[in-house]
């Protein structure tokens, strides 16, 4: 890997393959998880495909990513298609495919997204950033696990680090941490999509039991425009997540991300599979 290219930029690099909206990418070991790339980097690559499309209107407003199968090592193909364009919003369908052993393309990820032209209006918030110590006084923790993607983020936990003892004791699933890309990188929509998925499975905290778990579907809402992302720069984001319901092998998780200035940049919701 070239030292001149940030790991995130390499992971989301896409090459047009001829037809409009068709791109080819390559997985990297930099964001590798248990059996494939970390889910946040897959979402980031889809955001990249939208922004790279010559017909893209505005900036990302939301994206829903459905992980149909594990993305394997190697080449992958993205098709990004705007299916409806209105005056200020544009609606998208996206798929990621990979060839199987016979060379036939198999769908591994599907997604829908909305881009929009943001206009200046009244604004308010019903969920202000919690009062917490600044990232400068919160120590950074070493990577918490044996997977490579954890090395791509500077994490400074305030609440809800993964259990130190896996004893089955039930507790609250809330996590709060300061986080940013490692090495530091100016925030953009691709990076924000990845940061929305930095949390360990909530069931690990809720039960203190390290059970297999994986995201089935995640939706990220981008509340910030380009000006707010530029203002955040290379600073840390306060990331907060909490599970809401754990039942019949699935749980959901709500998350919020604020800039150091207290501006909510994104929120997300996901449904996660877990196994006994």
Which pLDDT value is given to residue 265?
98
**Distance between CA 107 and CA 111 in Å, rounded?**
11
Which contiguous run of DSSP H or E holds residue 233? none
Which pLDDT value is given to residue 80?
98
Long-range pairs, 118-125, Cβ under 8 A, ≥24:
118/58, 118/59, 118/225, 119/88, 125/264
* Cα 33 to chain centroid, rounded: 13
Residue 141: which residues within 8 A CB-CB, separation 6 or more? 155, 156, 157, 161
**Distance between CA 148 and CA 144 in Å, rounded?**
10
Q: Indicate the DSSP class of residue 8.
A: H
Which pLDDT value is given to residue 107?
97
pTM of the model: 0.96
Domains of the chain by range and CATH? 7-117+131-274 (2.40.160.210)
pLDDT means per 10 residues, the chain with 276 residues, are: 81 96 97 93 98 98 97 96 98 96 93 96 95 97 86 96 89 96 97 97 93 96 97 98 97 98 98 93
Tokens, residue 49: 């495909």
Which pLDDT value is given to residue 2?
46
Q: Is the dihedral of CA 144, 149, 155, 157 positive or negative?
A: negative
- Give the residue among 189, 270, 264 at the shortest CA–CA distance from 223: 264
């Amino acid at each position: 890997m070239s030292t001149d290219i940030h790991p995130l930029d390499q992971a989301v690099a896409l090459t047009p393959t001829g037809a409009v909206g068709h791109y080819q990418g390559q997985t990297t070991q930099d964001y590798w998880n248990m059996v494939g790339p970390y889910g946040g980097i897959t979402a980031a690559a889809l955001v990249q495909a939208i922004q790279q499309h010559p017909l893209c209107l505005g900036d990302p407003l939301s994206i829903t990513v459905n992980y149909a199968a594990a993305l394997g090592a190697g080449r992958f193909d993205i098709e990004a298609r705007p299916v409806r364009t209105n005056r200020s919003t544009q609606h998208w369908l996206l798929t990621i495919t990979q060839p199987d052993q016979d060379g036939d393309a198999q769908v591994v990820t599907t997604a829908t997204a909305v881009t929009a032209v943001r206009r200046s209006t009244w604004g308010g918030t019903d969920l202000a950033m919690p009062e917490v110590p600044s990232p400068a006084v919160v120590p950074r923790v070493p990577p918490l696990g044996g997977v490579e993607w954890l090395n791509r983020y500077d994490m400074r936990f305030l609440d809800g680090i993964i259990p130190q003892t896996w004893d089955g004791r039930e507790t609250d699933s809330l996590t709060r941490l300061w986080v940013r890309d490692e090495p530091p990188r100016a925030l953009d929509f691709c990076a924000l999509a990845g940061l929305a998925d930095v949390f360990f499975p909530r069931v690990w905290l809720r039960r203190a039991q390290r059970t297999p778990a994986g995201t089935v579907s995640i939706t990220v809402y981008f509340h910030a425009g380009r000006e707010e992302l530029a203002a955040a720069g290379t600073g840390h984001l306060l990331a907060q997540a909490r599970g809401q319901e754990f039942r019949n092998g699935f749980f959901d998780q709500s998350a919020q991300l604020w800039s150091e200035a207290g501006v909510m940049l994104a929120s997300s919701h996901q449904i996660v599979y877990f196994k006994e």
